[in-house]
């Protein structure tokens, strides 16, 4: 039975993969599609994060979580975490001529808070943070980020925590599908009213090759099922061990291994060195650590 505590789908620890046992026996590590493009994107995400903890929303960027988990193994900051939920839900209503998704139920909202708390997003924790908590996800229209912001903002209100302080401790980085830029380019954050409640530097984008964006966001096999609101208070399924999952696991292990390697860490450091945030001491320190560490 469900314990009532925050529970998310099981995912193997790939940095210290003692749990894998013989799962990968006979599995040839696959090539990671668009690896170099993805590393470039990951380096920019870190550089634009403000030096705080990165929280990867949903499953789309699990590979970026794996890459950075490997790269930061021997580095104290920044931390990386997952908020592996989907806000996709059935039911909609018409509001001022527009269709909106049904609101989360009280129990769903409470469960979202409990899972967020494990990633360091409790209002009291946010208020005490020295550096921001940065949510990262692939973005099209920004619906998931809207839900995340709403949960955090309502939670701050209920806890009577200092929003004037916390608004400076929360960031959002959208990984968008790259397209030609023009004055008429559609930018999701310009159509999300809640972004006006945050400093302008708190909502930024990093673009990714459209084919890579589609692969990681839509087509890559993930290591657990989508975790929708209707599942948040249900018993969590055990991990699957079929051939497709084993291949995906081998890919994930390969990404972690590359992140831990000297080549992977130096590739990330090169990307970060080309970013405007290089003027900030935390990023220069991180680049130094990345260039000094890593297995050959």
Question: In this structure, is residue 20 part of a structural domain?
Answer: no
Chain center to CA of 189: 17
Distance from C-alpha of 43 to C-alpha of 48, rounded to nearest angstrom:
9
| Residue keyed to tokens 């920044």 | 78
Q: What tens-digit pLDDT sequence spans the chain (296 residues)?
A: 334 456 789 899 998 877 788 888 888 878 888 999 999 999 999 999 999 999 999 999 999 999 999 999 989 889 999 999 999 887 655 555 556 678 899 999 999 999 999 999 999 999 999 999 999 999 998 999 999 999 999 999 999 999 999 999 999 999 999 988 777 777 898 889 999 999 999 999 999 999 999 999 999 999 998 999 988 887 777 778 888 899 999 999 999 999 999 999 999 999 999 999 999 999 999 999 999 976 66
pLDDT tens column, 25-47:
888 878 888 999 999 999 999 99
pLDDT tens column, 129-150:
999 999 999 999 899 999 999 9
User: Cβ distance 161 to 125 under 8 Å?
Assistant: no
| pTM metric for this prediction | 0.92
Three-state DSSP state, 206: strand
Question: In this structure, is residue 16 part of a structural domain?
Answer: no
Question: In this structure, is residue 5 part of a structural domain?
Answer: no
Three-state DSSP state, 136: strand
CB environment 204-231: b (16+ within 10 A), e (fewer): bbbebeeebbebbbeebebbbeebebeb
Question: In this structure, is residue 17 part of a structural domain?
Answer: no
pLDDT tens column, 61-87:
999 999 999 999 989 889 999 999 999
Beta strand pairing call for 98-101 and 92-95: antiparallel
Distance from C-alpha of 213 to C-alpha of 227, rounded to nearest angstrom:
21
Question: In this structure, is residue 9 part of a structural domain?
Answer: no
Question: In this structure, is residue 230 part of a structural domain?
Answer: yes
Question: In this structure, is residue 14 part of a structural domain?
Answer: no
Identify the pLDDT of residue 99.
60
Distance from C-alpha of 186 to C-alpha of 82, rounded to nearest angstrom:
28
What 8-state DSSP symbol labels residue 160?
T
CB environment 250-285: b (16+ within 10 A), e (fewer): bbbbbbbbbbbbeebbbbbbebbeebebeeeeebee
Chain center to CA of 198: 19
Distance from C-alpha of 36 to C-alpha of 185, rounded to nearest angstrom:
26
* Domain housing 195: 31-291
For the chain, the domain total comes to: 1
In sign, the C-alpha dihedral spanning 216, 170, 15, 25 is negative
With a CB cutoff of 8 Å and minimum separation 6, the contacts of 293 are: 74, 75, 262, 265
- 213-222 CB contacts, 8 Å cutoff, 24+ apart: 213/138, 213/175, 213/176, 213/177, 213/178, 214/177, 215/33, 215/34, 216/38, 216/60, 216/61, 216/63, 216/64, 216/138, 217/60, 217/138, 220/63, 220/248, 221/245, 221/247, 221/248, 222/59, 222/62, 222/248
What pairs with residue 295 in β-bridges?
A: 261
Question: In this structure, is residue 11 part of a structural domain?
Answer: no
């Amino acid at each position: 039975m469900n314990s009532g505590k925050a529970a998310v789908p099981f995912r193997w620890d790939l940095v210290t993969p003692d749990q894998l046992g013989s799962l990968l026996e006979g599995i040839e590590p696959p090539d990671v599609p668009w690896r170099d493009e993805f590393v470039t994107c990951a380096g920019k995400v870190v550089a634009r994060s403000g030096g705080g903890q990165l929280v990867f929303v949903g499953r789309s960027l699990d590979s970026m979580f794996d890459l950075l988990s490997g790269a930061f193994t021997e580095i104290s900051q920044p931390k990386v975490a997952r908020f592996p939920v989907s806000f996709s839900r059935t039911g909609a209503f018409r509001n001022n001529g527009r269709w909106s998704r049904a609101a989360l139920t009280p129990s769903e909202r409470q469960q979202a808070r409990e899972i967020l708390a494990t990633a360091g997003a409790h209002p009291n924790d946010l208020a005490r943070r020295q550096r921001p908590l940065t949510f990262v996800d692939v973005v099209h229209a920004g619906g998931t980020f809207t839900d995340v912001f709403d949960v955090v903002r309502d939670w701050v209100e209920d806890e009577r925590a200092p929003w004037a302080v916390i608004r400076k401790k929360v960031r959002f980085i959208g990984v968008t599908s790259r397209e030609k830029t023009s004055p008429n380019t559609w930018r999701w954050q310009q159509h999300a009213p809640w972004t006006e409640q945050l400093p302008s530097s708190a909502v930024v984008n990093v673009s990714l090759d459209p084919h890579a964006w589609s692969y990681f966001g839509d087509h890559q096999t993930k290591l657990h099922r989508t975790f929708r609101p209707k599942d948040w208070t249900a018993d969590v399924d055990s991990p699957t061990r079929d051939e497709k999952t084993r291949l995906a696991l081998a890919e994930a292990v390969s990404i972690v291994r590359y992140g831990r390697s000297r080549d992977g860490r130096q590739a990330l450091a090169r990307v970060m060195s080309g970013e405007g945030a290089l003027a900030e001491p935390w990023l220069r320190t991180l680049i130094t650590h990345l260039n000094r560490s890593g297995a050959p």
